[in-house]
């Protein structure tokens, strides 16, 4: 087939290629600015997570980079998991699945949005120190699935005994 016989086909191919390159560059920049790429160097994995997991969840990385309704978040007594949903395959290009052991996580809990929603802020990595926040029902689900692995578990148990 002669491409010159079809006017504009070459131009369309150039625009499609430029669009794909633009998308990949944008995703690469987002993964770096959010801290996901930094965490991926140490905590990236291709193994399937073993524990409870919830699809279509949201998290906020470094306080400003929101991954809304595109994550699968998992928790077990061993650690915490973040992965981009398979149907969001372009985003997965620069965002490897993360498996973070609880010993690498500090947790701060509280309320957000004028005291309406529960909030948990994780400071991940002893060197990386990337902050990740989750909100709402997901906080309780992660805490319950983590059980004794939850970094605040011993403090919560001591407070419960006082009452």
In a domain, 19, yes or no: no
Of residues 33, 39, 115, 43, the one with CA closest to residue 79: 43
In a domain, 22, yes or no: no
Q: Identify the domain containing residue 109 by its residue range.
A: 34-162
Is pTM, for the whole model, over 0.75?
yes
Q: Name the token pair of 32.
A: 């770096």
CB contact at 8 A, 58 and 67: yes
Q: Name the token pair of 24.
A: 């990949």
DSSP alpha helix (H) spans, the chain: 9-34, 36-43, 89-92, 137-146, 153-162
Domain CATH for 93? 2.30.29.30
pLDDT band at 39 (very low <50, low <70, confident <90, very high): very high
Would the pLDDT of 23 be above 80? yes
In a domain, 23, yes or no: no
CB contact at 8 A, 14 and 21: no
Would the pLDDT of 55 be above 80? yes
Number of domains the chain is built from: 1
Task: Name the pairing type of β-strands 65-75 and 117-124.
Answer: unpaired
In a domain, 89, yes or no: yes
pLDDT band at 2 (very low <50, low <70, confident <90, very high): low
In a domain, 134, yes or no: yes
Percent of the chain with pLDDT over 70: 88
In a domain, 144, yes or no: yes
In a domain, 3, yes or no: no
Alpha-carbon span 99 to 96, nearest angstrom: 10
In a domain, 9, yes or no: no
């Amino acid at each position: 087939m002669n491409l010159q016989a079809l006017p504009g086909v070459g131009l369309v191919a150039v625009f499609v290629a430029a669009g794909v390159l633009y998308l990949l560059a944008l995703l690469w920049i987002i993964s770096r600015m959010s801290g996901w790429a930094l965490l991926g160097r140490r905590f990236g994995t291709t193994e399937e997570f073993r524990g409870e997991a919830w699809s279509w969840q949201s998290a906020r990385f470094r306080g400003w980079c929101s991954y809304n309704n595109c994550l699968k978040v998992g928790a077990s007594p061993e650690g915490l998991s973040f992965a981009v949903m398979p149907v969001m395959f372009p985003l997965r290009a620069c965002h490897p699945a993360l498996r973070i052991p609880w010993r690498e996580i500090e947790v701060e809990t509280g309320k957000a949005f004028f005291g309406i929603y529960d909030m948990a802020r994780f400071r991940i990595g002893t060197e990386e120190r990337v902050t990740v926040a989750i909100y709402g029902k997901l906080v309780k689900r992660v805490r319950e699935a983590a059980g004794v692995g939850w970094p605040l578990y011993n403090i919560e148990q001591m407070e419960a005994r006082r009452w």
